[in-house]
Amino acid sequence: MNQTITSHNSSSINSALSDSSSKHNLSHASFNEVHVLHQLKHYLPSQTPLKDFIHHNSLHAFQGMKFYDAIFKASEIFGFQVAMELHDYRKLIEVGRIRAEILDKVICDKKGSEHLAIWKSNILSKEYDEHISSRIGLLRANWKVAHQVDLDTMVQPLLFRVLCSYLDQGVAIWEFPVGGKSFLDSLKDLEKNSFTSLFKTSRAQKLLFQQDLSVSGLLDILIGNEVYFEQYLFDQQFSHRGWSGLVSAVEDKPDTLLSPKQISLKDLIIFELLLEIDNLDYVLGSNWKPLCTSINFPPVDLFADIETTELQEVFKICQDAFEWSYYDEVLAGVKQLSESKQNSSKISSTEPKNFQAMFCIDERECSLRRHIESIDNRCETFGTPGFFSVEFFFQAHNAKFYDKLCPAPVTPNYLIKEFDVTEKRKHDLFYTNKSHSFHTGFISSFTLGFWAAIRLVRNVFKPSMAPAISNAFAHMNSKGKLTVENVSTSDRENNLQIGFTVDEMTTRVASLLNGIALTKNFAPLVYVIAHGSSSANNPHHGAHDCGACSGRPGSVNARVFASMANNEKVRLALKQQGIDIPTSTQFVGGLHDTAADEIEFYDLNVLNTVNAQKHKENAIAFENALDLNAKERSRRFASIDTKMPIKKVRRAIKERSVSLFEPRPELGHGTNTLCVVGKRDLTKGLFLDRRAFLNSYDYKTDPEGKFLTGIMKPLGPVCGGINLEYYFSRVDNYKLGAGTKLPHNVMGLFGVANSSDGDLRPGLPWQMIEVHDPVRLMIIVEHFPDVVLKTVQSTPEMYEWFINEWVHLAAVNPETSEISYFVKGAFVPYQPLANSIHFFKDVNALLEDAKEMETNHIAHATQENLPIYFYN
Amino acid sequence: MEQLLQFFILLPFVGYVVSLFIPDKKEKFIASIASTIVGVHFLALLVFVGFWIINRSPVLDIRHLTFYKEDSIEIFINFYFDKITAVFALVGASITFLVAVYSRFYLHRDSGFKRFFNTLLLFYFAYTLVIFSGNFETLFVGWEFLGITSFLLIVFYRDRYLPVKNGLKTISLYRLGDVCLILSLWMSHHLWHENITFNKLNDLQLVATHINEHNYFTIFIIVMFVIAATIKSAQIPFSSWLPRAMEGPTTSSAIFYGSLSVHLGVFLLLRTYPYWQTLISMKVLVISIGSLTAITASLIARVQSSVKTQIAYGSIAQIGLMFIEVAMGWHVLALVHFTGNAFLRTYQLLVSPSVLGYFIHDQFFSYVPQNYNTTNSFIRKLSNSFYLLSIKEWNMDVLQFRCLWLPLKKLGRQLNFINSKIIFSILILVYFGGLFCFSFEEKIPKPLDDLLHLFFGFIAMILVIKAFSERQNALKAWTLIIASQFYLILSIAFLNDKYEYVEILIYVSGLLLSAITGFICLFKLKKIEKSIDLNSFSGHIYEHPRIAFLFLLSCLGFVGLPFTPSFIGIDLMFSHIHKNEYLLILFSSVSFLFIEIAALRMYARLFLGPHKKAYHPIAYRSS
């Protein structure tokens, strides 16, 4: 009974230990609180409250290392599954989803062709011990071994409940009675001013009020020996990484909570240590000895180097082969398409266009662009990050807060206010938390109760938009007005300038138009289409909105941009910079709801009569494109028969977005793999199955790569971040994802947990990632390799993404159509193996016959993804 | 018209059986079977109730299917229909139907899709059985099924720690309620000398004379009912299981813990009301429980910062009020209240994920910073104290653990000596000694006879408590459970000279079947997995779903799930214990309480929870 847990896998830990003792010298023989807190914050999940859903690399803490080194190390430390299971890879090889010739090539490249046979047999049939051991939790587990005390079960329910109550944003009717103070001070206040206590015993209670209350002081009582402190704190905080991560994120960004709270990881740790002492006193009496007296092994250096294993090599080969089985096809397609276009007589690009439309680079817009182009072959589409280069805070009419509408790292200096809104906001009585007391509940039962029955019937059989459904179009009132133009620079609010000056507007419009190379040949109408997503009953709805607008619909940005570009003074200034927009050209803002597949256009009243007429025609084209887009999306939804009449499909798609019972209103960024930076022509004609972020860019206008730097910089954090979050949530949905959303319970309006006593679940829920193939992002840039290389090397933060292999990078030589691939700091030519890309005349027929996944296991799910096709 | 009642019970059962045979992947088929069955059930009910009302709503009562008949005992299934049944049936059918349709989309591609609908139909069958039941036996059968389906839905996400832990917690309390029901069944057998039907309870005259004759025994019966109802409806002091039972998909939480299952306590009180309507003390008891719950649960609901927990306590508070309404005799009010509350909480739970978006949006426009009271007044101190107590759920969870389970766990640990082989041999010897004595029972003097059966009963109890706390070896735990059952039979056999061998045979045959199946499962598992200890959850269902299923069946048969021979055996046994055998009834009811808990604990520890072998993604314990 008195044995202690040294490790699950003593050999690897011991070797890790001996490794580390030489290198790290068991680095923290003396405990450095600031350092350890910093380390903890670095490794904890950094997801902020769900209302601000910003995608990011789940293993951001390891980003300084090469991808494979990083993931295997993270796995060794925290026990994550970081690649698919071996039998899944084998299944993918079996069904041909990992192509045999690619597998051979990857093995030859990595191991040399002479070892092909042996590695192939390893991969296909050798038995490996796939058990994942983890370093975390080993020390703290000894409470149970030595004292039969299960601290987690005793401490966590109360700890979570107190944390949730303190941070609560409005679920509880009776709010935490102390406010305006730090977490620990609030607890002290509460303890002092009540007849009962949070604690069960007196020592912990006294300690709370002790003058020199410190982490190390408490650890002295609990652990005794300083060398174990760091390991213990990691064990403790990672036993509930969800809550600790939220606390750490709120500490760093307090304004992500509407109702402000002063909390810090340190406060959380102190309170948890106190609860531990309290419970140990309670169970064991006050005579227990510190933990270090009952263990006889040295502290484990969590971050020591790890052993390399043959299995890791197998994983590397399999994962690379899986990725390249897809990339190879794509690159082959790009190359062939580019060659054929160069050979064919050039279509004159000066032919006047019916209209031009800008969309977000989001891969969900990729299909809509394809459809609109197929319906009106005299239109032109562009892709650019969906905040349309205008960064600002937005204050909706009567709102008490501002919404940030630009990429997360940017802090805008501008404020756009909405005014002249006459519509009243609608309420929904069912959401009132007032029905939980016995008297109000009594009345509610006799009134709301029977109404609930009717509502339930309606919601089940005839879903429709309601106030409680997050409606992308409600983000801004289309009939309201916006303070786009700054009246005078002294017109400020909370240190933000209201509106933009003409100069500021000009810079932004020019920067966007230059970036996408739309500086001449303007069509009479230029659409600026942002996107957002409506969904019902979905705490993760922010994850479906525009990532470039900090997880919100981009409607205001589109409208602001259109208004700027229509501004006569701006046009004049643009003309001086060489961008001559004819007066007959007008910009129209719009919002595409990616779940409901609807578009709303803004400020149509400014259109002149000719353009108004033209818009009417274009609007029909957009309508038809949306029909097709809905049809294309429907193939992945089991509840919709793709072969139904198209209008019916469209209605069914819209219904999904307002259905309470639909956990997949849309599939978000699932299946994203590619990011193409280049002219539309580079991929126009290539069916990419809604898997590619498309950023418009013309190398010709930018021989030096000046604009390219601006374009490439956010691709890592934004597209790479999205891609890696999907990757990790896919391969380990239990630890790195949020698990299935069906049992989720909303905690304090900032997160979800399972059950009433569970840890918060950061990451993506199962319903969002089940269609996703866990492959890294491949960025394809249309430019000369040396320019691309120079560009990505221009800042270390950007370069890190590529040199450490968190995203792949390829360049397409615009003159020769040659492909080169970035590997170990240089571009090397790449000759695609795939040579027969099929041609498909009618994409719709392809979609109708596409296979639906049998189950959501990867080997089945991935077969829903279609290969690359050429289309007309 | 009475003849139609059986149709309402049969239909969900047929649906359940049919749904078992549909392949996993036929989602549409599975879901439409469920919604069609429940939908047809609902329509049929509507028509039936229409005719019933035209016929001036008579009370219907019909006897079906006699299981077992002997001079003194008769076990039969009896159906009954009155306005209480009508309301509970209509509400139950409509909510189940809506949730079934809702779940078809909600659970799409969930690995437990089929399992969910199977369990839902079984639950619906159990629910109808309870509300259509015409006597306590029939009600008990439904009650038991309901408990099992609850357990299965709470542990729906069985590869995580918390659902399994909370599932066990809930089923343990449910089992306590079941034992209370068994005890009241036992006592009423002795008092009425028959299976009293609810119809007969309506006879005021009869009940009144009966109560006069056996005042204390009647109170015992009613208190047992009240405890069972209190547990099922999560009233104080048993409230804390309800929010923790919300581990399954939101839809199952909505139907079970939001609406139908939790209101069955109210149903039980309504059903038994004629029996206790003249007893002021009992009314006071029910009203006290109800009002205490209404107030405390409201307070707890007010401080909850997680949505589902808040709804759970909100609902508990309303059920507290319903307890009061029933005791006051305001039954129509209680029925309307039940209907409204059931729909309201179902809806609130179903839309609970929307709360995040809605409230944040709402706050965006209407946020007002709170003004905190910073005085040092007495009132503030008092209010803070209430706040803290409510956050800690008035320590009910801790108290329950300390008063109910901890002493037994500790006792179990004290019994470590039973592990040695010598003790086992002695136990076997003693048992054969007992059997030997039994065959010569006539020659044993009466006082010794009395002592012996107490002695064997005591051993039975000790063994099962040991099984409950066994951590090292699953085989040993299983053996202990079986041994305890055999000792129990022996003990009761000693009691009654008229004990028939047929009865023992019925019971033993059921027991043996379960025991042997269980052993086969355990041996098979041990052969593959080498060590099968019960120290922590092992999650072997990941690799051995078939063994797990078989073992679950043997657990259920073993603990006397309705319709198994063991069940009839248990009922028979209890009718053989006389009403003044206090010690023996204590021993045997503790044994029955712990047999199911110990068996399901074994099932959970071996097959559920995070998988021991970490070669695939595994959930954190805290998630």
Question: Do B75 and B8 fall into the same domain?
Answer: yes
Judged against a pLDDT cut of 70, whether residue B316 lies above it is answered with yes
- Regarding beta strands A808-812 and A819-823, do their DSSP bridges make them parallel or antiparallel, or are they unpaired? antiparallel
Residue A650: Cβ within 10 Å count? 23
* C-beta atoms of B387 and A452 within 8 A: no
Kindly identify which residue of chain B lies nearest to residue A81, measuring between CA atoms: B617
* C-beta atoms of A400 and B367 within 8 A: yes
CA distance A405 to A413: 12
Cis peptide before A762 (omega within 30 of 0): no
C-alpha distances out from residue A490 to A417, A493, A497, B112, B277, Å:
16, 9, 8, 62, 78
C-beta separation of B465 from B407 below 8 A: no
List, in sequence order, every beta strand (DSSP E) within A509-664.
Answer: 525-532, 586-593, 598-601
Q: What ranges in A59-99 are assigned the alpha helix state H?
A: 67-78, 86-94
C-beta separation of A688 from A774 below 8 A: no
* C-beta atoms of A539 and B357 within 8 A: yes
CA distance A225 to A296: 12
State whether residue A495 is helix, strand or coil: coil
Interface test with B, best of A88, A155, A436, A657 (most B CBs within 10 A): A436
For chain A, say whether B623 makes contact (Cβ under 8 Å): yes
* C-beta atoms of A51 and B356 within 8 A: yes
On whether residue B370 sits in a domain, the answer given is: no
CA distance A46 to A337: 42
**pLDDT for the residue numbered A9:** 39
Q: Minimal Cα–Cα distance from B288 to chain A, Å?
A: 15
* Helices A796-803 and A785-792, axial angle in degrees (round to 10): 120
Question: Do B404 and B335 fall into the same domain?
Answer: no
**A-proximal residues of B, 224-243, CB under 8 Å:** 243
**pLDDT for the residue numbered A25:** 40
Give the pLDDT means over successive 10-residue stretches in chain A (872 positions). Answer: 40 40 47 92 93 90 95 94 94 93 94 93 93 91 88 93 94 89 93 92 92 91 92 95 95 91 95 95 88 89 92 96 95 91 65 92 94 92 94 93 91 93 80 78 86 89 86 91 91 93 95 92 95 92 90 94 95 94 95 95 94 95 95 90 92 92 91 94 91 94 91 91 95 94 93 91 93 95 95 94 96 93 95 85 82 85 88 79
On whether residue B188 sits in a domain, the answer given is: yes
**pLDDT for the residue numbered B448:** 75
Segment B147-156 mean pLDDT: 91
* C-beta atoms of A664 and B621 within 8 A: no
Interface test with B, best of A200, A734, A756 (most B CBs within 10 A): A756
Question: Do B350 and B405 fall into the same domain?
Answer: no
On whether residue B616 sits in a domain, the answer given is: no
Question: Do B410 and B332 fall into the same domain?
Answer: no
Task: Nearest by CB to B347, from A197, A433, A455: name it.
Answer: A455
Kindly list the residues from chain A whose CB atom is less than 8 angstroms away from the CB atom of residue B347.
430, 452-453, 455-456
For chain A, say whether B400 makes contact (Cβ under 8 Å): no
State whether residue A687 is helix, strand or coil: strand
Kindly list the residues from chain A whose CB atom is less than 8 angstroms away from the CB atom of residue B302.
172-174, 436-437
Kindly list the residues from chain B whose CB atom is less than 8 angstroms away from the CB atom of residue A638.
27, 108-109
Count interface pairs A-B at CB distance under 8 A: 345
C-beta separation of B73 from B575 below 8 A: yes
CA distance A771 to B394: 45
Question: Do B499 and B546 fall into the same domain?
Answer: yes
**pLDDT for the residue numbered B202:** 78
For chain A, say whether B560 makes contact (Cβ under 8 Å): no
* C-beta atoms of A756 and B309 within 8 A: yes
Question: Do B449 and B323 fall into the same domain?
Answer: no
For chain A, say whether B360 makes contact (Cβ under 8 Å): yes
Least confident of A529-533, B153-157, B207-211: B207-211
Question: Do B352 and B406 fall into the same domain?
Answer: no
> pTM for the complete prediction?
0.93
**pLDDT for the residue numbered B498:** 58
Judged against a pLDDT cut of 50, whether residue B470 lies above it is answered with yes
Torsion sign over Cα B309, B313, B314, B319: positive
Kindly identify which residue of chain B lies nearest to residue A197, measuring between CA atoms: B388
* Helices B83-106 and B27-54, axial angle in degrees (round to 10): 160
For chain A, say whether B535 makes contact (Cβ under 8 Å): no
* C-beta atoms of A754 and B162 within 8 A: yes
Question: Do B330 and B401 fall into the same domain?
Answer: no
List, in sequence order, every beta strand (DSSP E) within A377-441.
Answer: 379-384, 392-395, 403-405, 414-419
On whether residue B383 sits in a domain, the answer given is: no
C-beta separation of B25 from A854 below 8 A: yes
On whether residue B501 sits in a domain, the answer given is: yes
Kindly list the residues from chain B whose CB atom is less than 8 angstroms away from the CB atom of residue A432.
none
Examine the predicted complex and report whether its ipTM is higher than 0.90: yes
Question: Do B211 and B319 fall into the same domain?
Answer: yes
Give percent above pLDDT 90 in chain B. 43
Q: Minimal Cα–Cα distance from B464 to chain A, Å?
A: 23
C-beta separation of B145 from B561 below 8 A: yes
Task: Nearest by CB to A758, from B94, B162, B365: name it.
Answer: B162
* C-beta atoms of A537 and B353 within 8 A: yes
**pLDDT for the residue numbered A20:** 40
One-character DSSP codes across A593-635:
ETTTTEEEE--GGGS-HHHHHHHHHHHHHHHHHHHHHHHHHHT
On whether residue B376 sits in a domain, the answer given is: no
Q: Minimal Cα–Cα distance from B111 to chain A, Å?
A: 9
* C-beta atoms of A449 and B341 within 8 A: yes
Least confident of A13-27, A174-188, B276-290, B340-354: A13-27
For chain A, say whether B90 makes contact (Cβ under 8 Å): no
Task: Nearest by CB to B347, from A452, A754, A758: name it.
Answer: A452
**A-proximal residues of B, 480-499, CB under 8 Å:** none
Q: Which of B357, B384, B414 is the last residue of a domain?
A: B357
Kindly identify which residue of chain B lies nearest to residue A156, measuring between CA atoms: B622
Kindly list the residues from chain B whose CB atom is less than 8 angstroms away from the CB atom of residue A437.
298, 301-302, 314, 317
Judged against a pLDDT cut of 60, whether residue B524 lies above it is answered with yes
Q: Name, in order, each residue with C-beta under 8 angstroms of B441's C-beta and a sequence gap of 6 or more.
A: B449, B494, B497
Q: Nearest to residue A697, comparing CAs of A707, A689, A684, A687? A: A707
Task: Nearest by CB to A453, from B247, B311, B343: name it.
Answer: B343
Q: Which of B357, B384, B418 is the last residue of a domain?
A: B357
**pLDDT for the residue numbered A446:** 85
CA distance A845 to A839: 12
Q: What's the domain count of chain B? A: 2
**A-proximal residues of B, 292-331, CB under 8 Å:** 294-295, 297-299, 301-314, 317-318, 320-321
Task: Nearest by CB to A470, from B311, B357, B383: name it.
Answer: B357
Question: Do B480 and B574 fall into the same domain?
Answer: yes
CA distance A181 to B521: 58
The gap from C-alpha A492 to its chain's centroid, in whole angstroms, comes to 33
Give percent above pLDDT 70 in chain B. 92
- State which H helix or E strand residue B61 sits in: strand B60-69
Interface test with B, best of A437, A440, A744, A767 (most B CBs within 10 A): A437
CA distance A821 to A823: 6
* C-beta atoms of A175 and B365 within 8 A: no
**pLDDT for the residue numbered A26:** 43
C-beta separation of B207 from A720 below 8 A: no
Question: Do B319 and B431 fall into the same domain?
Answer: no
Segment B310-318 mean pLDDT: 93
State whether residue A862 is helix, strand or coil: helix
Q: Which of B341, B357, B373 is the last residue of a domain?
A: B357
Q: What ranges in B107-247 are assigned the alpha helix state H?
A: 113-132, 136-154, 161-192, 198-201, 204-213, 215-232, 241-244
Task: Give B108's Cβ-side CA count (13 Å radius).
Answer: 21
Torsion sign over Cα B538, B543, B549, B555: negative
Query: Which residue range forms the structural domain that includes residue B334?
Result: 2-357
C-beta separation of A229 from A36 below 8 A: yes
* C-beta atoms of A193 and B384 within 8 A: yes
Question: Do B346 and B477 fall into the same domain?
Answer: no
For chain A, say whether B395 makes contact (Cβ under 8 Å): no
CA distance B587 to B599: 18
C-beta separation of A361 from A530 below 8 A: no
On whether residue B345 sits in a domain, the answer given is: yes
On whether residue B619 sits in a domain, the answer given is: no
